[in-house]
Amino acid sequence: MPPDLSSEGHRIDALLRVSLGLTAALAAFFLLSLAWLVYRARKRASDAAPSSSAPSAYAFGLGLAVLVFGLIDLALAAGSRRAAVGPPPPDALRVEVLAQQWAWRFRYAGPDDRFGTADDVTTLNDLRLPVGRAVSMQVRSLDTSHGFFIPMLRARADTYPGRTARTWFRTAREGRGELACTVLCGDAHYQMRGEVAVLSNEQYAQWMNGLMEDQRRAAAAAPGSAPAWGWSWLP
Ligand SMILES: [Cu+2]
């Protein structure tokens, strides 16, 4: 994973490490058990008097119990982290994301903080966010299954037509990276990427003001040309 720019991403990283460790332990346990069973079967075939299998059965049971408890613990840890993160705060910056073959459209609510109004700001494959801010996203798809994934913010939301997927995170550090589609969604799936930037508040405001100015000019030159997609924010 790339460097984490979010405030809660370390929780996901920790879960990933634990689940990788458990998977490795599980694989090692079953491989060693298999080796032991083969060894014992061969020994038994060559021995005239078979030895008792009690110690190995005991070890096998103990190992299995440890792993089962590890998996339960992992599930509980995932649940408690989810609960600790909770729902997005009411002051979160809201962004609508429309996935389509093969691009990402982003919609910001603009100064009135309401979606579906003339001051909405839209971008194509270009997501910029201010640092130190909670960001709440709703993701929809126009055509087929898509997986919205921002690795450096540890944010994911899988969607398909009819489903509004949600994700939220808090930006903690400035930086730049990419977002990608994680679902094979057609011929040009590999092109379905976008730029992501976490900017200082001044840089973000400057960028947003520039976009609003551009859109005002475009709307004045060609009324009704604004992109028509978008939805009322779901509570
Ligand atoms: Cu896709």
pTM for this prediction: 0.78
* Distance between Cα 6 and ligand 1 center (Å): 23
**Cα–ligand 1 centroid distance for 141 (angstroms):** 9
DSSP H or E segment with residue 149: strand 146-150
Q: What is the pLDDT of residue 227?
A: 66
Structure tokens at 182: 């994680």
Asked whether 167 and 155 are in contact (CB, 8 A), the reply is yes
**Among 15-29, 75-89, 166-180, where is mean pLDDT lowest?**
75-89
Q: What is the pLDDT of residues 190-222, one digit of tens each?
A: 999 999 999 999 999 999 999 999 888 888 888
Instruction: Please tell me which of 22-26, 27-31, 166-170 the model is most confident about, judged by mean pLDDT.
Output: 166-170
Nearest CA among 135, 126, 124, 123 for reference residue 95: 135
CA of 206 to the centre of ligand 1 (A): 30
Residue 50 clears pLDDT 60, i.e. is over it: no
Mean pLDDT (the chain) is: 87
Q: What is the pLDDT of residues 172-185, one digit of tens each?
A: 999 999 999 999 99
Distance 128 CA to ligand 1 centre (A): 20
Q: Using a pLDDT cut of 90, give the percent of the chain over it.
A: 46
Cα(167) to centroid of ligand 1, in Å? 17
- Would you say residue 52 has pLDDT above 70? no
The Å distance, Cα 78 to ligand 1 centre, comes to 27
* All residues at 6 or more sequence positions from 165 whose CB lies less than 8 Å from its CB, including other chains: 138, 139, 140, 148, 157, 158, 159
CATH class of domain segment(s) 93-221: mainly beta
Q: Which residue type, as a one-letter code, is found at position 25?
A: A
Overall average pLDDT of the 219-227 stretch: 76
Element (H, E) at 147: strand 146-150
Which has the minimum average pLDDT: 67-76, 95-104, 135-144, 174-183? 67-76
113-171 pLDDT, tens digit each: 888 888 888 899 999 999 999 999 999 999 999 999 999 999 999 999 999 999 999 99
101 alpha carbon to ligand 1 midpoint, in Å? Answer: 6
CA geometry: angle at 160 spanning 155 and 166, to 5°? 35
Distance 145 CA to ligand 1 centre (A): 7
Tell me the CA–centroid distance for residue 58 and ligand 1, in Å. 49
Going by pLDDT thresholds of 50, 70 and 90, the confidence category of residue 53 is low
- Cα–Cα distance between 95 and 149 in angstroms, integer? 14
Query: Distance from the CA of 165 to the center of ligand 1, in angstroms?
Result: 14
How far apart are the CA of 177 and the centre of ligand 1, in A? 18
